[in-house]
Chain A
Amino acid sequence: MSTERPLVEVHDAARWFDVSAPWLERVLSRKPRSILRAVDGVSFSIRKGETLALVGESGCGKSTIARMLVGLYPLTRGSITFDGQPISNMQGRSGLALRKRLQMIFQDPYASLNPRWRVGRIIAEPMLAHTDMTEQERDDRVDVLLTQVGLHPSDQSRFPHQFSGGQRQRISIARALAVNPEFLVCDEPTSALDVSVQAQVLNIMKDLQRNLGLTYLFISHNLAVVHHVADRVGVMYLGRIVEIADRDTLFANPQHPYTRMLLSAIPDMTGQGRKRTPVAGEVPNPLNPPSGCTFHPRCPFVRERCKIEAPATQNFKGVEIACHGVAEGWPMQV
C-alpha cells in the first residue's frame, strides 16, 4: 500500500445553517435561534484512484458534504484539503486552478443543464473558463468527450430537452470531464434514472474511471448501487459518519446498529426469510436531534451512556466506527 498522502482529506468538517426566524419574530415570541447542523464533524480521506461512497437517508448531510467538497458551501468548522491545498481558498486565481482539478455531477438530469444553451456550448464552458483553447480546439475536444460518454458528435448542436434523462446525465459527465479533472464528486447521479439507464451510466462511469485514473466521491441512498461502484463505504446519520469500511467488510459484517438496520431494510430481489434487525422509528428532525448518540432512540441495543454522550470515532480492525457498544464490546446479536 502506498504511503503517499491521500488526494482528499476531510477533518472534522462541519456546516451549520442558521434557519432562525427573523429577529423581530424571535423577540416577540421568545424563540431561541434555530441552527440546522447539516454536517456536524465529519472526517474521512480518499486515495487517488479509489471510489468512496457516502450513503445515508434523508437529512444525513451527504449532499451538503458533497457541496462543501467542491466549494459551494463554506465550512463552519474543520478543514478540507485537496492534494494538500485547502478547499476554503477557492476564490481568485489560485482558486481557479484548484477548481480545474475537481468537478461535480448532480442528481437531477433535468436541472443540471441550462435549458437555453446548446449541448456543445454546455460542455465547452469549463474550457472557456480554464483554458485558452481556440474554438476549433474546443470543438474537437467536445467531439471526443461526446464519443467517450457514448453519444454522437453531432449531438452538440442540439438542446438538452431533446435528450432523455440518461443521455443528459452523460452530457453532465462529459462537461465534468472537459478539462481533465482528477476528482469527481457525484451527487446521486443515477437516482433519477430508470434501472436500465442507470446500468448504462454506471458502466460508463466505471470505464472512465479505469481509463482516465479518476477518483470518485459517490453519494447515494441506494445501497445496491453503492455495492456496485464503491471501494470503501461511509454510512452517515444526521450529519455524522457512523461507520466507514471497505465495501466487502461493510456488507458482510456491518458493525454499527444503524448500518445493520439499513442493510436489512433494503428490499432484496434474491432473498426471502433472511434475518432482519427490527426496523424502528423514523429519522428525527435534524433541527432538534436527540442528545448523546443521535441514533439512540432507534437503537435496539441502547444503554444509558448512549443518551448522554456522543460516541467518538474509533478504528477497529480497519473499520472506523462511532458506537459505544462496539467500543466497549457489548453483546449486540439479533
Chain B
Amino acid sequence: MSARKSPGLNPASPDGSVQVGDSPRPAAGDSASETAGDGFLVLDAVAKEFGSRAAVQPTTLTFRTGEFVTLLGPSGCGKTTLLRLIGGFEHPTSGEITFRGRNLAGVPPERRPFNMVFQSYALFPHLSVYDNIAYGLRAAKLPDAEVRRRVLAALKLVGLGGEASAAVGQLSGGMSQRVALVRALVREPDVLLLDEPLGALDLQLRKRMQMELREIQRQTGATFIYVTHDQEEALVMSQRVVIMQGGRVVQVGAPADVYHNPQTRFAAEFIGTASILPAEVVRSDGRSAEVVVARSVTIEARVPPGRTHSPGQAGVLAVRPEDLRIDEAPSGRGLPGVVVDGIFLGESTHVRVALDGLDTVRVQWTGSVSAIPRIGQRVTVELLPAQATFLLED
C-alpha cells in the first residue's frame, strides 16, 4: 500500500490546482490501443472471461489524474465488468492493471485507493445514514472526532444534514443516492468508480445530479470513472468517453470528438442521432473521401483517421440531423422523399423524411417552427459537404 498510507485522507489537490477543463484533450485519433500516458491508472491488455464467455476482450486504456471518464455502451458490453476489475472485485484473466506504476494484481478492494458507488447503492440496511458514511472512515481507524467532523461535512455537502440518524430504509431514491456517493467520497479516493449511479432516479433529479457530480469531481480533483448506457449522460458529464461494444473498446475520445468523428457504424448510431445511408467511395486520400450516396449524390465526407479506402468500396454514410437540409423546392442535387413527422425538441426541431427507396432520415429544421413542411409533402434532402462520416460496415 505504498500509494497511500492513510487511505484516502489527503486532500486530492492540496495546492488548490484542480485540473478541470484544461486537462489535455485527446487528439481526434486517440484510439483504443493507446499507450500509457502519465501512467496514473493503466489497463494493459486486460481481459476477463467467465467460463468460456469473454466479458472483456483484451483492453488497453489509460486514465489520467483528475479526469472524468465515462465507460459507455449497451448492457452486456463489459463496461461494468471493466469497472469491477479496476475496483478489485473481479480478477483479470490476463493482462494487468497498474496504478501509479504499481501492479494491482492481488491487491484486494479494501486496499485500493479507489471507492465505488454501487448501482442501487448497496447501503448497509442495519446502519443509520451517519454510520453508513462513517463506515469507511472507521475502517481506516480514524479517531472518532475526525470521523464525526468528516461525516458531518459530507452530509452538509449533499444537503442531508438533518438525516444523520435516519435509517437508510426511510430515505428517498435521491437521498440514498447522495448517501452512497458521500459514503465513497469521504474516503477521498484517488479514483471514484460509479456504476450507473443515477439509473434509478427520475429525469429531473438525474439532470441535477449530473451537474452536482461534475461539480464534485472538479472540487475533489479525483478521477471519476463513470459507467452508463445513457449516451446523453456520457456526453454531458465526461471529458472523455470510452465506447464499448461486445467486450471491446471501439472508440475513445472527447464527447465532441466521438460525436462528430465516429469510427464505426455502431459508435455513430449509439451516440446521438445518426441516419444511415448507403454510400460508395469515389476517391479517398486518408483524411477525407468523395463518396456517392445512394448512387445519385456525390459528396465530400469525413473518414476515420488513418483509414484509406479504394474507389468502388461500399459502406455507409452516418449523417447527423444537422448535416442535412430540407429543400422544399425539389432540385436535382439532393435525395427526394416524403415528410412523415415533425419532432419538436425544444431548442431545435427535427423533421423525419422517408427517402424514396431508402430509410427514413432525421433532418434538423433551420427555419421557423411555423414554416415546418406538412406531413406528406414531397421535399428534397440535401447533404452538407464534409460533415457526415463515411464508415465501412461493422
Q: Do A and B bind each other?
A: no
Give B contacts to A, CB under 8 Å. Answer: none
